[in-house]
Amino acid sequence: MTIQIALADDEVLARQKLRLLLRDQTDCEVVGECATAGETIELVRAARPDLVFLDIRMPDMNGFDVIDALSAQAELPMPRIVFTSAYDQYAVRAFEVHAVDYLLKPFAAGRLSTTLQRFREQSNGCHPGERGEPNGERHTTRIVFKSKGRIVFLPVSEIRWVAAEENYVRISTGDETHLLRETMAHLQDRLDPQLFLRVHRSSIVNLQHVKEVRMDTEGETAVILVNGQKVSMSRGYRSKLQRLLRQ
């Protein structure tokens, strides 16, 4: 299924960059471009895109006004939104209106690929938090934070493991780590226990990334992740993990 995309930005070069980058994505089709908020609303009504890349500061209204106007029209299916902006101060608001992502300009091609991959996962419903489990509501599916000059909307499924560092937690994803001001207890509370397991006072692992549990010659147990990362484990958690892995 192709993803029908609309581009909304008052700068023609900004739209061109997106159009060129999206050309490399086989499953994406740009169905229209617009330079003002008014045009965007018209375009969404006419073309019914799945996804809109929306600039926040536009000449007539801002991106959030566009969303308000669109959601006021009940008959219209609401497209998913990716915000693009040179400013980072709207990130939390974007997160609250369930935007797919928030791209700070300028962004690299890799960053855009990540955004599209997240959109695909969310629309295929293979996103772990959206499987409609009974107590799924309590558990978070995404976290938003600032890291290294960027805005990150991180789906929890991408977390491999979490390590405590005093008042902070270090979240490891595939290729990088992020430092968040959080407690292990609070984070554990927000994560789905079917997917995340506390294996040590100072570590939580994502079970989907666990390869095996290994015991070394000194009798110390460690969890080995798919990427080879070794996370040490307390004895008390071992039986629990083995039970979960057998499921």
Partner 1 sequence: MHPVIFIGASVLVGILFAMQEWLNARRWGYKIGLGFVSEMWGMQFLLWGIICWLLWRFLRPFIINARPSALLTRVLPLSIALSIMEEMIWVLFFPRVPIDRPPMDYWHRFTFQLNAEFVDSIAIFWCAFLFFRVVAYYQQFREKETTAARLQVQLVQARLSALRMQLNPHFLFNAMNSISSLMRSDVDAADLMLEQLSSLLRITLERGEVQLIPLRKEVEFIEIYLAMQQQRYAGRVEQTLSVEPGLHDALVPALILQPIVENAYVHGLSKCTGRGNLAIDIRRDGKRVRMSVVNSGIGLQLGLEEPGHRGVGLTNVRDRLRLHYGDRGSLSVREVGTGRVNVTIALPFQNNARGTDEAARFDT
In the complex, which residues of this chain contact partner 1 (CB under 8 A)? 88, 92, 95, 98, 104-111, 137-150, 164-168, 179-182, 190
DSSP state of 191: S
* Nearer CB in complex with partner 1: 40/122: 122
CB of 88 to partner 1, least distance (A): 7
Q: Does residue 238 contact residue 245 with C-beta atoms inside 8 Å?
A: no
Q: How far is CA 47 from CA 41, 42, 50, 119, 220, in A?
A: 10, 9, 9, 19, 60
CB of 77 to partner 1, least distance (A): 21
* Nearer CB in complex with partner 1: 41/164: 164
* Nearer CB in complex with partner 1: 179/226: 179
* Nearer CB in complex with partner 1: 35/91: 91
CB of 168 to partner 1, least distance (A): 5
Specify the 3-state DSSP secondary structure of 154.
strand
CB of 231 to partner 1, least distance (A): 16
* Nearer CB in complex with partner 1: 8/151: 151
Q: How far is CA 42 from CA 39, 60, 71, 172, in A?
A: 5, 14, 13, 42
Give the Cα separation of 44 and 69 in Å (integer).
11
CB of 234 to partner 1, least distance (A): 18
Give the Cα separation of 101 and 125 in Å (integer).
17
